[in-house]
């Protein structure tokens, strides 16, 4: 008889964990049995809210307990590696929040550990589950755009001093690993590379232009990208825009068509704002009517976590594996390295 439920733990009970906890409480294949946080009061509060029976302050002790089969990791991203590796070594399936890590070495050690242990490893990129994004991926797969020739990735947000004051790790290279690229634009860069294919060269520049009195990471970045098929792309990201413009990715092909997805207001469902595939232009109006005004959270976190649970139960890879999540990290790190040296960076980069 096939297993129907997976005993799950939530590791770190901070802000983003609320979406994960809701998913574990809602999804029929999840048995939410443990909360873990170094701050016991915070873990206990989460456990009390969802009637979770076990509370831990040490993730290693949690993984050794025998209580859980899988864990959702919501720690700050520079802390993903030790938790994911420890879970894998204990035979625990594991999914972590984006980005996968802050260095390629961390990402590779996580991927290697989960592969050696034959456990499932997923990374949260819930925007891949948006209908507008799925339509673009299907159009590319079906050849409706022909050979892709040009892509654009634009992220224009606002983050004030109040945002960076929320947690002591925010806005610092040592504890966040980067700024607008690493923490916010990574979602759109994930779309960008998923649509355009493997990146082979990156030239970029970063700066801190508006928030320099309270952060040391970048608040502004631009880059050009060369892809394996010869296509070109551009990235522009900033947390200095008032009002914010949101997240937008568009791709163009030699069929004469172009498609795009735009998250106009952060947290809102992305819509197809461009759809000029020959013969399909009229479809855009119907999609806009269906998608317009729909919240972007939390249902798409639920969909991705549900996929992860099903990957465990069906013994298949999750929709976004560690290896797939590594690709957006590599582009971000290449922008940082190019900005540091003033030179283009060839991909793949060496793992360190």
pLDDT band at 251 (very low <50, low <70, confident <90, very high): very high
What share of the chain in percent tops pLDDT 70?
Answer: 99
Tell which wins on pLDDT, 226 or 166: 226
- Tens-digit pLDDT profile for residues 82-123: 999 999 999 999 999 999 999 999 999 999 999 999 999 999
pLDDT score of 263 more than 70: yes
Q: Which fold has domain 127-295+329-346?
A: Dihydrodipicolinate Reductase; domain 2 (3.30.360)
Least confident of 100-104, 161-165, 311-315: 161-165
Q: Quote the radius of gyration of the chain (alpha carbons, Å).
A: 20
Ordered by start, the domain boundaries in the chain are 6-123, 127-295+329-346
Q: Is the pLDDT of residue 293 over 80?
A: no
Mean pLDDT of 201-222: 97
Q: Would you state the pLDDT for residue 230? A: 98
Tell me the per-residue pLDDT of 321-338, one tens digit each, with 9 for 90 and over.
999 999 999 999 999 999
Burial of 219 (0-12, 13-18, 19+ CB in 10 A): buried
Coil/strand/helix, residue 200? strand
Length of the chain: 352
For the whole model, what pTM was predicted? 0.96
Superfamily of 6-123 according to CATH: NAD(P)-binding Rossmann-like Domain (3.40.50.720)
User: To the nearest whole percent, how much of the chain has pLDDT over 90?
Assistant: 90
Please choose, from the candidates 81, 77, 304, the residue with its C-alpha nearest in 3D space to the C-alpha of residue 183. Answer: 77
Asked if the model's pLDDT at residue 347 lies above 90, the reply is yes
């Amino acid at each position: 008889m096939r297993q129907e439920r997976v005993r799950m733990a939530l590791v770190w009970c901070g802000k983003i964990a609320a979406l994960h906890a809701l998913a574990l409480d809602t999804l029929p294949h999840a048995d939410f049995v443990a909360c873990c946080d170094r701050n016991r009061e915070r873990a206990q509060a989460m456990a009390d809210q969802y009637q979770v029976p076990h509370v831990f302050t040490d993730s290693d002790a949690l993984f050794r307990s025998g209580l859980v089969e899988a864990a959702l990791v919501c720690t700050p991203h520079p802390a993903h590696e030790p938790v994911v590796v420890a879970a894998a070594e204990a035979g625990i399936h594991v999914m972590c929040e984006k980005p996968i890590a802050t260095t390629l070495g961390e990402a590779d050690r996580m991927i290697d550990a989960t592969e050696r242990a034959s456990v499932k490893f997923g990374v949260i990129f819930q925007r891949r589950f948006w209908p507008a994004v799925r339509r673009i991926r299907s159009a590319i797969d079906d050849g409706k755009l022909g050979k892709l020739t040009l892509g654009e990735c634009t992220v224009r947000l606002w983050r004030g001093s109040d945002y960076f004051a929320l947690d002591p790790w925010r806005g610092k290279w040592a504890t966040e690993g980067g700024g607008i690229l690493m923490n916010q634009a990574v979602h759109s860069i994930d779309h960008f590379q998923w649509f355009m294919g493997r990146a082979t060269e990156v030239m970029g520049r970063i700066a801190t232009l508006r928030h320099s009195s309270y952060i040391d990471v970048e608040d502004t970045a631009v880059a050009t990208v060369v892809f394996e098929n010869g296509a070109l792309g551009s990235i522009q990201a900033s947390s200095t825009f008032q009002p914010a413009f949101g997240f937008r990715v568009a791709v163009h092909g030699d069929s004469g068509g172009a498609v795009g997805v735009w998250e106009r207001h952060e947290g809102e469902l992305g819509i197809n704002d461009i759809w000029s595939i020959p013969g399909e232009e009229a479809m855009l109006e119907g999609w806009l009517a269906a998608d317009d005004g729909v919240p972007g959270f939390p249902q798409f976190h639920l969909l991705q976590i549900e996929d992860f649970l099903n990957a465990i139960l069906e013994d298949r890879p999750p929709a976004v594996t560690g290896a797939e999540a590594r690709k957006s990290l590599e582009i971000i790190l290449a922008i940082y390295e190019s900005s540091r040296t003033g030179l283009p960076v060839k991909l793949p980069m060496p793992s360190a």
